[in-house]
Structure 1
Amino acid sequence: MIDLLVAGGGPAGLATAIHGALAGLEVVVLEPRPTPIDKACGEGLMPGAVRRFEELGVTVPGRPFHGIRYVDGVTGRSAEGLFGAGPGRGTRRTELQAALARRAAELGVRVLPRRADEVRQDGQRVGAGGLTARYLVAADGLHSPVRRALGLAVAAPAGRPARYGLRRHYPVAPWSDLVEVHWAHDCEAYVTPLGPDRTGVAVLTSRQAPFDVQLADRFPELAARLPPPAPGAGVRGAGPLRQRARTRVSGRVLFVGDAAGYVDALTGEGLTLAVAAAGEAVRCVRADRPQEYERAWRELSRAYRVLTSALLWARGRPVLAGRVVPLAARLPGVFTGAVNLLAR
């Protein structure tokens, strides 16, 4: 019998598969999409994520960045927080996923072009995609079909506007070795250095408007620095970003990455948490103690959930939202400490 089925061949699923193979488990990944798999995201890996991927034997491609700069979209005032434990990495999502796929293949992980349909389980095994295994890890994304099929999705709170992510690449050399986060009163724009002649821009917003309109209306100075996008450089979108789950464990099914529940991309921690949680999920599977994973996930994600929720709370109050960057500039030590808390 297969030890571990993984639903989803994105970074969270492949990190789980690599952890499992390194732990001596027989792992099969179910992923209907061909490699490389793209996704709308900021594409900036925090130092903790870079370190954890390298511990798995994955060389992360891309361009180093050395901290975070918050920029007020109205006044241009800024605050910088530099990393204290090595650089992060701006890496295209397709290149990261391809690197993880190569490492998984080196370790003998099989990837089958199937969906994890009709999840069935009892006290000894779980079945999906026509296969049977001891455990299933669902890493099938923000709108996880496995989470929905098991009845674990929780409706978003009423009255809170949904937020979405939009991303586009530009053929321009990065002008900074930091990730810039430009703040407007109702959205943010993330500028990530990706290569010698490529910069990524991601917008997080609750506005229903095209990408170019968002930039022109809310970040005119940033928009003026960007050349026309290269031919074929379309806009990718994702959302609503906030997704809630009743639990991270359901019998012999464990949830990793966005499928485990998601607050927002505002703090850029998604992949750091995903690869760390993948290791904890494999540890619990190997020990045959899946029930321990819920507590482990909550401990790993606590700082992310608290800080992200606090920033979103401030974001929802226009007076406070306008003070985030000025306050960070006035308290550089506090801002740098928060940046490094998220960078671990």
Structure 2
Amino acid sequence: MIDLLIAGGGPAGLAAAIRAASLGMEAVVVEPRTAPVDKACGEGIMPSGMAALRALGVEPAGHPLRGIRYVEGARSAAAVFRGAAGLGVRRTALHTALHARAVELGVRIVPGKVAKVRQDHDRVGACGLTARWLIAADGLHSPVRRGLGLDGPGGGARRYGLRRHYRVAPWTEYVEVHWSRHGEAYVTPLANGLVGVAVLSGERRAYESQLAAFPGLAALLLGREAGPVRGAGPLRQRARAQRAGRVLLAGDAAGYVDALTGEGVALAVATAGAAVDSLAAGRPEDYPASWARLTRRHRLLTAALLSVARRPATARMIVPAAHRAPALFGAAVRALQ
């Protein structure tokens, strides 16, 4: 019998498979898309995320990131990462590196999409496969989470993300977060001649209309060769629990607040590893508490920043406050790294 079946071959699913294989477990990933997989993503990986990837033996190519800079008009505030740098990485490059490492370790990746899960006291089955355990790492709108009745209640403002690549030399070593009353735009250096620009907003409008809310940034990108637009959302997703019997939820499937702080990859790898480790230790009941501990800081800080950002009167204060209190801004950035 397979030790671990994994629904979803994104960063969380592949990280779980790599961790399981390194512990001597037989892992099989079920993924409907062919590699490399792309998706809407800010594509900036925090230092903690890079450390977690290296621990798995994964070293994607990308552009070093020195820190975070907040920008609004002519005002800005910058904070440098403590210690190691982050990395701007094309989502396809990240997926290629994770996929190659998983295959190197003997992970089997089969085409398919897990929707219905069958389980009893000692096994779980899906897509014609049977395993001792299943990790659902099938994204924001997880079919496994929904099928198990684990979708949490809605509520709160809905936010959506759009991302596009531009052929232009990066003008910064930071992830730049441009603020407006409509939302935020994230500029991530990815290579010598490439940047990614992701826009997060509560308004469902075309990418060009969203970018127009940031006139200084739009002027820098005017006339540049641009790639296709990819979207995701609504971003806020809740799960009633992170475990149901022999199924554990990891990555975005386990619950997601927002992309505002750029911790998605770091949290995906961390929660996937915690899920696998709980199974390897024979203590799956420990995983929900581990998930809560690993994600608590992100959930609290992101929710607090969102509560400020969604109100125009307070959103206008974010960049001036960061500019006037650089030490406090730096401490906040380092708490997230």
Smaller-chain TM-score bracket: over 0.9
**What does residue 30 of structure 2 align with?**
30
- TM-score if structure 2 supplies the norm length? 0.98
In structure 2, how many angstroms separate the alpha carbons of the residues matched to 1:228 and 1:246? 46
For the residue of structure 1 that corresponds to 2:199, the secondary structure is strand
In structure 2, how many angstroms separate the alpha carbons of the residues matched to 1:161 and 1:48? 28
Whether 1:228 and 2:223 are equivalent positions in the alignment is yes
Paired AA for residue 220 in structure 1: P
For the residue of structure 2 that corresponds to 1:153, the secondary structure is coil
Q: Which of 255, 262, 270 is the equivalent residue of 2:264?
A: 270
Q: Which of 73, 76, 79 is the equivalent residue of 2:77?
A: 79
Paired AA for residue 108 in structure 1: G
In structure 2, how many angstroms separate the alpha carbons of the residues matched to 1:255 and 1:143? 12
Paired AA for residue 200 in structure 2: L
In structure 2, how many angstroms separate the alpha carbons of the residues matched to 1:230 and 1:103? 33
Please state how far the C-alpha of 1:290 moved relative to its aligned partner.
Answer: 1.1
In structure 2, how many angstroms separate the alpha carbons of the residues matched to 1:229 and 1:14? 34
Counterparts in 2 of 1:130-209, with a 5 A limit? Answer: 130-157=128-155, 160-209=156-205
- Size of the aligned set, in residue pairs, is 337
**What does residue 117 of structure 2 align with?**
119
CA deviation vs aligned residue, 1:266-297 (integer Å, no higher than 9, x gap):
00011111101111111111122111000000
In structure 2, how many angstroms separate the alpha carbons of the residues matched to 1:25 and 1:123? 20
Paired AA for residue 153 in structure 1: D
CA contact (8 A) 1:170 1:228 kept: no
In structure 2, how many angstroms separate the alpha carbons of the residues matched to 1:207 and 1:138? 30
**What does residue 98 of structure 1 align with?**
96
Q: Percent identity, aligned pairs only? A: 57
Please state how far the C-alpha of 1:209 moved relative to its aligned partner.
Answer: 1.3
Paired AA for residue 146 in structure 2: R
Whether 1:320 and 2:320 are equivalent positions in the alignment is no
Whether 1:244 and 2:242 are equivalent positions in the alignment is no
Whether 1:67 and 2:62 are equivalent positions in the alignment is no
Whether 1:44 and 2:39 are equivalent positions in the alignment is no
For the residue of structure 2 that corresponds to 1:277, the secondary structure is helix
For the residue of structure 1 that corresponds to 2:267, the secondary structure is helix
In structure 2, how many angstroms separate the alpha carbons of the residues matched to 1:136 and 1:257? 14
Paired AA for residue 252 in structure 1: R
**What does residue 127 of structure 2 align with?**
129
CA RMSD of aligned residues (A): 1.0
For the residue of structure 1 that corresponds to 2:140, the secondary structure is coil
CA deviation vs aligned residue, 1:53-109 (integer Å, no higher than 9, x gap):
01111112110011000011xx32111110012110000001100110000000000
CA contact (8 A) 1:67 1:178 kept: yes
For the residue of structure 2 that corresponds to 1:341, the secondary structure is helix
Q: Which runs of 5+ in 1 are unaligned?
A: none
- TM-score if structure 1 supplies the norm length? 0.96
For the residue of structure 2 that corresponds to 1:288, the secondary structure is coil
For the residue of structure 2 that corresponds to 1:124, the secondary structure is coil
Please state how far the C-alpha of 1:229 moved relative to its aligned partner.
Answer: 4.9
Counterparts in 2 of 1:5-24, with a 5 A limit? Answer: 5-24=5-24
Please state how far the C-alpha of 1:117 moved relative to its aligned partner.
Answer: 3.1
For the residue of structure 2 that corresponds to 1:33, the secondary structure is coil
**What does residue 283 of structure 2 align with?**
289
Q: Which runs of 5+ in 2 are unaligned?
A: none
For the residue of structure 2 that corresponds to 1:24, the secondary structure is coil
CA contact (8 A) 2:168 2:224 kept: no
For the residue of structure 1 that corresponds to 2:57, the secondary structure is coil
